[in-house]
Homo-oligomer: A and B are copies of this chain.
């Protein structure tokens, strides 16, 4: 087996978040689906940006957030994703490297600009996302460094990779390399509407063993099995997946395997400031736990701790050292 250099290697869309607080009216007026992610073109991006309030720019991207969370927890993380060689691309690259993550994907020198996600945060803390994929469209299988993937305990892939034209090929290449190196592959379903776009393919990935571990929130789970019956959907996922984690916001999560279904509570927070990154950071904690050989329950508790931190401030990256938080919480190093 290749020597292990990374606990988790993530592949995803490299995005800078442009975050503004807004009222619910704004979402209605601009035809946004609250709590969801929709893809937008550059024209609509311009229109939304012109209409939205003063914003802050914070590096984002679902899998990228997860890997930064892994590093913040003291894990060794690597990320693969495409930016352009422009100002926001340099912001993305700086932030992920400064967080201690290995990031070596060459930036695109031409084509569309670095991806941006216009995130509208309503007073309830819910986030509604509008993504202009830009340079993230250009992730190709050649961007996958097979040696790095083989050197990672877990390769973590976001369902959003089904949106850009060649990224799914990069995804499949990475999964193949990982399994050939006897490594684990994890997938997040990303978003209920993303599941709606690629349901059959996602089910195939889960059923044919391309992925060993699936992360889904309730909405994504319902979308995957096209049912409003939670228990039926959980049962279906248990039959299809080797291991799955279903996150349920303040209700905690379920870790589902053939052997057992374990419920783990959320870490309570006084107020949800911005829910962006909750699922991403949950995955970070769970993956770090798993990569250290912790049991499912402990791994889920570490996930809950990381998610609780990120929803208490603006942005989807940790605002403090998660390792210190975990140490204070009595988690083993």
Q: Which residues of A come within 8 Å of B, CB atoms?
A: 20-21, 49-50, 52-59, 68, 86-88, 91, 94-96, 98-99, 113, 315, 317, 319
Point out the residues of chain B lying under 8 angstroms from A56, CB to CB. Answer: 56-58, 315
In the complex, are the beta carbons of B54 and A98 less than 8 A apart?
A: yes
Given A49-B94, A56-B58, 8 further pairs, Cβ under 8 A:
A20-B98, A50-B94, A53-B98, A54-B68, A54-B99, A55-B91, A56-B315, A57-B91
Q: Are A54 and B49 in contact (CB under 8 A)?
A: no
Which 5 pairs between the two chains have the least Cβ-Cβ distance?
A57-B57, A87-B87, A54-B95, A54-B98, A56-B58
Number of copies of chain A assembled together: 2
Majority-rule SS of A interface residues: mixed
Q: Is B315 within 8 A of A98, CB to CB?
A: no
CB distance from A149 to the nearest CB of B (A): 24
Contact of A94 among B55, B68, B98, B319 (CB under 8 A): B55
- Nearest residue in B to A95 (C-beta to C-beta)? B54
Contact assessment for B54 and A317 in the assembled complex, using a CB-CB cutoff below 8 Å: yes
Q: From A51, which residue of chain B is reached at the shortest CB distance?
A: B98
Residues of B within 8 A of A49 (CB): 94
Question: What would be 21 A-B contacts, judged by CB atoms less than 8 Å apart?
Answer: A21-B319, A50-B94, A52-B98, A53-B98, A54-B59, A54-B94, A54-B95, A54-B96, A54-B98, A54-B317, A55-B91, A55-B98, A56-B57, A56-B315, A57-B57, A57-B58, A57-B91, A86-B87, A87-B87, A87-B88, A87-B113
Partner pick for A55 among B54, B88, B95, B113, CB 8 A cutoff: B95
- Which residues of chain B are near A88, meaning CB under 8 Å? 87
In Å, the complex CA distance between A46 and B317 comes to 23
A86 contacts across to B, CB distance below 8 A: 87
Closest B residue to A87 by beta carbon equals: B87
**Shortest Cβ distance from residue A84 to the other chain B in the assembled complex, whole angstroms:** 10
A50: chain B residues within 8 A (beta carbon)? 94
Q: What residues of B have a CB within 8 angstroms of the CB of A96 in the complex?
A: 54
Chain B CB within 10 Å — which of A87, A91, A99, A317 has the most?
Answer: A87
* CB of A140, distance to nearest CB on chain B (Å): 24
